[in-house]
Structures are given as C-alpha cells and as structure tokens.
Amino acid sequence: MGIFVSHSRFLMRKSCLLFLLAFSFVATAQQKEYVPPTKAQLEAKRKEIQDAINDTEHQLEEIKKNKNATMSQLRALQYKLAQRQTLIGNINEEIGSIDNTIVSSSKEIMTLKQKLELLKVRYAQSLRYAYQTRSSYDMLAFLFSSQDFNDAVRRMKYLKKFREFRKQQVDQIRQTQNQIEHKIGDLNKEKQEKDQLLLNQKQQTVALQGDVQQTNTVIQGLKGKEAELAKEIEKNRIVANRINKAIGVIIEREMAAALKKAEDEEKRRLAAAGKPVTPASNPKDTRPAGNGKPDPSLPYIAPKPKPAKADAPPLMMTPTEVALAANFEGNHGKLYWPVAQGSISDHFGTHPHPLAKSVMVDQAGIDIRTSPSAAVRAVFEGTVSSVFSTGGSDLIVIIQHGNYFTVYNGLASVSVKNGQHVDTRQPIGIVANNDEGEPTVNFQIWKSAGKGAKVKLNPETWIGKAH
C-alpha cells in the first residue's frame, strides 16, 4: 500500500512538472519577439531627424535676429539637442545593423568559396575520367560490349547525360564565382557605408558638444531674468486657464445642442412612423409629509441625479456626426499638421519649465513654431464651433468633429465663421506672433468622454509625420 501511494505521488509531481513546463513554453511562445528595424527604416528615420534638426537651425537663425536671449531660443536649442542625441543613437543602430550584415556576408562568402572548391574537385574528377576514356576505340568498345540493342541505347543515354553533367558542373562553377564576386562587392559597399556613418557619427558628436555650449550660454543669459520669467509663467497660466474654461463652456454648449438635435430627430422619426412621442417627465415632488403625501409647507427638494455610467455615450450625436467622429478617431497618428511647415516648441502635459526646473508648466496642447504669416489649416474636416478671443489680440478657432474638438489658438486673423463646414487642410486663418515675437500656434485636441466630462488629448500622438 505504501509503495502504491509513493508511486502515485511521484506520478502527480511528474504531471505537475510537465504541466508547468508546457505552460511556460506556451507563455514564452506567445510573447512578441522583438523585430529590429530594417536598414531602409533606419535610413528613413535618420533623414527625418536630420530634416527636423535643419528646420530647427533655420528657426534659430530667425530667432537670433533678436539680440536678447529668449525662451523660444532656449526651447529650440533644447529641442535640437534632443534631436541630435536621437540622431546619434540612430546612427549607432545603423552601424550595428551594418556590422551584422558584414558578418553575415562574410559567412556567405566563406560558404560559397567552400562550395566552389568542392565543385572544382568534382569537375577535376570528371575530367580525369573523360581523359581515361578519351579515345574513340574506348567509346566504341563501351557501346559494342552491350548485351543487346536496349543496353546499347541506355549506354548512349548515359554518355549523353555524362557530357551534360560536365556542362552543368562548369555552369555551377561560373555561377558560384559570380555569386562570390557579387557578395564581395556588396561587402565592400557595406564597409564603405559603415565608414561614412562613422564619419557622420563623429561630426554629430562634435556638433552635439557645440549645441550643449550654445544652450549653456543662452541659459546663462537668462539667469538674471528669473523674476521676469516667473511673472511670464504666471501670466501664461492665467491666460491658459481662461482659455481652457472658455473651451470647456463651448464644448458643453455643443454637447447640449447635439443632444437637443438628436432628440428632435428622434421625435421626427417617431412621428413619421406614427408612434406616440413620450414627453419628458417632470421630477417628482419629494417633500415628506406625515400622511405620505407631499407637504406644501416644506421647501421642494429635487432628487439627486443618478451618476452617469462608465459606459455612457459621450455625446448624443446624429448618424452623420457618429461617422465623422469614427473617421477622426480612425486617423489617430495620421492627422495633418495645422501648418505646412514647423516644429514643436513646447510639448503637451505637465513638465518642468526649460529654465526653472522647479516650476511645472501645464500645457493643454502643443506649441508649433512656424514661418511668419503662415496659414493655419484644419487638420480634419468638421464644423466651426466657435471663433472667439479671451481679451487679447489673438483669435481662437474651435472645430467640431463629432465628439472630438480641435482648437487653434494664436491666430492673427480668421477666414472662417461659426457653423461653417471646413475640409481637411482648408486654411482657417493666419498665425500670430507670441509675446516673444515668434510665429507660434497652440494646437489642442479635446474629446467629450461622458455627460459633462471633457478630456484633453496629446496632439503629438494624433498628428502624423507628414505636414
């Protein structure tokens, strides 16, 4: 009995071990394997980063016309510094990819050379055999020694195939030699590209050191302006809060208008179908009384509204608006930029101030620096919800895309009006200069995520690479 129990426990432990091994194998197999970027992808990324650096350098040349160091100059330098570091990292990745290709090509060349030597040995053997049977007498003796006519035919076919085999051997040798020459040419080309990348890496490293020195110089020039910067940060915060509050009010207004529009369309649909329209019921009187009836002597207490469900629809919309919102959402990461040319000078979200690291800046969108008097464009088709100003000279345009809203802040002039339908990349105004005299547009994306709920989205994840 004890032997049987011990054997059973052993089988159970073995089964558990096999199950754990199988489970770990399946879990490992389900994990996504890292796929390194291709050479073409790395080259495209390097070109993209280099173009961004060139644009930033062009902007810095424009900024330098203002002899006093500005925050725009510091932001541009820090952006260029980060892009330069990314470029160097991309070059290192390219060099690593080329090193792997060189190793692989070298192994292929060695394998082909071994194959070539083997082909040459076999061809030499066939030549020696052909030399030994070179005379016509040997050939005829081979044929006439056949047992019958069919045997003679088979021997003729054998001799023919042997000649064809020798010809194939020659072709294989030539083909292998051509492959080796082609691979050696590719290998030399890869080595030249590596040498060029190493030179580029050295140049970018030197340029990075210059960017660091230039950035430190600007920081030193701004060190004595902490009080002015603090006032500017506070002023920008007040203005941003005022704008965000105004945007929130406009979105709520649009939500209410969309709800009423959807309800009106539903009433018309029911009326057309001959179904009764249920009127909205008034809230019940909840004033308590001793007899269970409302007591008119007590003040009226309205019932508390039920909290909205997490999966409640973000906004009552018509089918057209639902389709528009779906199209907008489907272009996540592929939206056009609001300007034809430009670079991001300030990023979305809460982050430290470029100079005063202890001060946190809350950015509702992204700042895009562009060329003077550049046209600002709608990133997607929609309807203009509002054109307004918060008291300053700059104008703000809000465009609705279903339950999504795009905001274009910092326009000197506007070419659209409330309720107007706009197409993708349609000009809506001209960019204005910010307080530092730089042509900058602030771009935001909002979403109505529930009853009264509004969410600010990161525009950098929505816009694509192409302007």
Q: Return the pLDDT at 385.
A: 92
pLDDT band at 445 (very low <50, low <70, confident <90, very high): very high
Q: Return the pLDDT at 423.
A: 95
- Distances, alpha carbon 81 to alpha carbons 63, 64, 357, in Å: 16, 17, 17
Q: Is the pLDDT of residue 292 over 70?
A: no
E-only strand ranges, 260-323:
none
Residue of 374, 327, 368 lying closest to 344 (CA atoms): 368
Task: Quick: pLDDT tens for 422-432.
Answer: 999 999 999 99
The two structure tokens encoding residue 377: 């464009």
Q: Return the pLDDT at 139.
A: 61
Task: Quick: pLDDT tens for 120-161.
Answer: 888 788 777 766 665 544 666 666 677 787 877 787 787 777
Tell me the average pLDDT across 297-326. Answer: 53
Q: Is the pLDDT of residue 193 over 60?
A: yes
Tell me the average pLDDT across 279-291. Answer: 45
Q: What percent of the chain has pLDDT over 70?
A: 71
Q: Return the pLDDT at 428.
A: 97
Q: Can you tell me whether residue 352 is helix, strand or coil?
A: strand
Q: Return the pLDDT at 44.
A: 77
pLDDT band at 69 (very low <50, low <70, confident <90, very high): low
Tell me the average pLDDT across 12-41. Answer: 56
Task: Quick: pLDDT tens for 83-104.
Answer: 888 888 888 888 888 888 888 8
**CA 44, CA 464: separation in Å to the nearest integer?**
15
Q: Return the pLDDT at 406.
A: 95
Between 134 and 402, name the one with better pLDDT. Answer: 402
Q: Return the pLDDT at 1.
A: 46
Q: Is the pLDDT of residue 280 over 80?
A: no
Give, to the nearest 10 degrees, the angle between helix 71-132 and helix 39-63. Answer: 150
Tell me the average pLDDT across 236-244. Answer: 80
Tell me the average pLDDT across 357-372. Answer: 82
Q: What angle do CA 14, 17, 21 make, to 5 degrees?
A: 140
**CA 400, CA 382: separation in Å to the nearest integer?**
5
Q: Return the pLDDT at 98.
A: 86
Q: Can you tell me whether residue 418 is helix, strand or coil?
A: coil
Q: What angle do CA 186, 190, 192 make, to 5 degrees?
A: 115
Task: Quick: pLDDT tens for 218-227.
Answer: 777 776 666 6
Which residue segments constitute the domains of the chain, with CATH numbers given? 39-224 (1.10.287), 226-272+313-461 (2.70.70.10)
H or E element at residue 382: strand 382-388
Q: Is the pLDDT of residue 344 over 50?
A: yes
**CA 2, CA 8: separation in Å to the nearest integer?**
10
Q: How much is the mean pLDDT over the chain?
A: 76
Tell me the average pLDDT across 7-19. Answer: 51
Tell me the average pLDDT across 170-199. Answer: 86
Q: Can you tell me whether residue 179 is helix, strand or coil?
A: helix
pLDDT band at 277 (very low <50, low <70, confident <90, very high): low
The two structure tokens encoding residue 71: 């925050």
- With beta carbons less than 8 A apart as the criterion, state whether 253 and 315 touch: no
pLDDT band at 18 (very low <50, low <70, confident <90, very high): low
- With beta carbons less than 8 A apart as the criterion, state whether 77 and 100 touch: no
What's the sign of the alpha-carbon dihedral 76, 79, 84, 85?
positive
- Estimate the share of the chain in helix, then strand, then coil, as percent rounded to the nearest 5: 55, 15, 30
The helix/strand count (H/E) of the chain reads as 7, 12
Q: Is the pLDDT of residue 373 over 50?
A: yes
Q: How many residues does the chain have?
A: 467
Q: Is the pLDDT of residue 335 over 70?
A: yes
Q: What's the distance, Cα to Cα, between the start and end of the chain in Å?
A: 80
